[in-house]
A and B are shown apart, each in its own frame.
Chain A
């Protein structure tokens, strides 16, 4: 399998030579179309990893390669979603979702002429995440879970090859979270997009991912890599199987010991 993302022996330090060393000797590879999850103790550099891959930060040493090109500036083939939905309150949900199209080079010149086509696409996405008919509402008229769904739509509207999710479901209740897991699972299956998901929820990682990277405490590096064996398509029921729970348990143990070492 060709690799879409390659991180090779990367060091990233914030705030000059005497600053915080966030990640050190970080190495990982994510294949095209793969679903990768990154777990690790708090503050170990997971969000930093996201920013390195998207080119928001450039590492002091080591290389990050995305789609066969070394990352030296923000790469525009990604969609991002954070825990905080960051919807713009002066735009309707639909206009929020269309925002990336006003930015990305490939689309911004086509947007005005092909508005109808893009709006249809956005409405289709809204339907996929269960927000049909909410496009004309403002974000502050939506609940937190609904905003997070819209946030996913915004991350997907420009058909990114790589979707970066940084704890996107952290603030949601258990049922909404499971529902959105299924939404993401189906999107991944249908569109063949590569996904990197940062999460604290080990069940979430195990349920969704093909491969799980466990990171050490700061300065973060990959301690262990797990291939998740469960066959796709996965049903939520898989979480009640023994093999699933054993895997979650094992991950839990690894992170617990990574924390102690720190």
Chain B
């Protein structure tokens, strides 16, 4: 009994210590990021590395301010090539995924081809794209597309191909056509897989566009970093990396948010039921 009264007493005290009022889980990503920069800064100070090898974060931020105009312009360019490539990948991936998942025969026939295609390093395709389209935004967009559409295809096709046979039986017994089953069950069912794959795809799209910009473009963060590197402007290279990380995180968060909004049901139910 005395324990109970004691508990009520403590919870009733108005001024809780500060440490308890902070939501540490929410704060953790920021704290860890700051921690990383602090550790990096300290490392540079202790080892006295020259800025041409590893610039301190303070030096990198200074470079961001100093070169803000080109950084901003190139960041937008990379964001543009990435999102366009990604958008094409979403449309094509969805279409091809639905096509492949449509029937067991198509799935069996095209799957190995897809795997083989995915095994090709997309960097190796950039020279070919340059031959076809010249240097610039087009190879970057296409590389972003090529590298990011595969996970979308695989996920959509898997969602379709794994419809529970019993669900299919119930509907077929009612006279449902293949198209009915796809519309009523297959497509809604594959949506969580689809939206889940967008998170993976968008980060891959950045890899594709930046790789292509690095070797075959006069614009974009990739190009900016490679020319900064040739001028030994290492702080600017790191500034570019930082901007890429920021763009990547922002787009990932956007995709995660879309996923949550569109397929909340999948997080609260097990798909297997």
For A85, what are the chain B residues with a Cβ–Cβ distance below 8 Å? 273
For A138, what are the chain B residues with a Cβ–Cβ distance below 8 Å? 265, 268-269
Give B169-216 interface residues, CB cut-off 8 Å to A: 169-176, 180, 184-185, 188-189, 191
For A54, what are the chain B residues with a Cβ–Cβ distance below 8 Å? 169, 173
Q: Determine whether the beta carbon of B173 is less than 8 Å from that of A158.
A: no
Give B68-114 interface residues, CB cut-off 8 Å to A: none
**Which residue, B170, B172, B269, B273, has most C-beta atoms of chain A within 10 A?**
B170
Partner of A78, one of B167, B173, B268, B273: B173
Stretch at the interface among A101-109, A192-200, A224-232, A233-241: A101-109
B271 close to chain A: CB less than 8 A? yes
A99 close to chain B: CB less than 8 A? yes
Q: Determine whether the beta carbon of B188 is less than 8 Å from that of A140.
A: no
Q: Determine whether the beta carbon of A100 is less than 8 Å from that of B174.
A: yes
Query: Which residue on chain A has the smallest CB distance to residue B175?
Result: A76
Query: Which residue on chain B has the smallest CB distance to residue A99?
Result: B184
Partner of B268, one of A80, A102, A104, A140: A140
For A181, what are the chain B residues with a Cβ–Cβ distance below 8 Å? none
Partner of A84, one of B166, B174, B189, B269: B166
* Contact A56-B184, Cβ < 8 Å, known A87-B273, A103-B176: no
How many whole Å from A72's CB to the nearest CB in chain B? Answer: 13
Q: Determine whether the beta carbon of B174 is less than 8 Å from that of A103.
A: yes
Say which size band chain A's interface belongs to: 20 to 34
Give B228-273 interface residues, CB cut-off 8 Å to A: 263, 265-266, 268-271, 273
For A99, what are the chain B residues with a Cβ–Cβ distance below 8 Å? 171, 184
Partner of B175, one of A80, A90, A105, A147: A105
How many whole Å from B225's CB to the nearest CB in chain A? Answer: 44
**Which residue, B173, B184, B185, B191, has most C-beta atoms of chain A within 10 A?**
B173
Q: Determine whether the beta carbon of A86 is less than 8 Å from that of B175.
A: no
**Which residue, A85, A105, A140, has most C-beta atoms of chain B within 10 A?**
A140
Q: Determine whether the beta carbon of B265 is less than 8 Å from that of A89.
A: yes
Q: Determine whether the beta carbon of A104 is less than 8 Å from that of B174.
A: yes
How far is it, in angstroms, between the C-alpha of A218 and the C-alpha of B174 when the chains are bound? 28
Q: Determine whether the beta carbon of B180 is less than 8 Å from that of A89.
A: no
How far is it, in angstroms, between the C-alpha of A75 and the C-alpha of B164 when the chains are bound? 20
A134 close to chain B: CB less than 8 A? no
B interface footprint on A49-92 (CB within 8 Å = 1, 0 otherwise): 00100111000000000000000001110101110111111100
Q: Determine whether the beta carbon of A55 is less than 8 Å from that of B173.
A: yes
Q: Determine whether the beta carbon of B184 is less than 8 Å from that of A90.
A: no
How far is it, in angstroms, between the C-alpha of A103 and the C-alpha of B182 when the chains are bound? 12
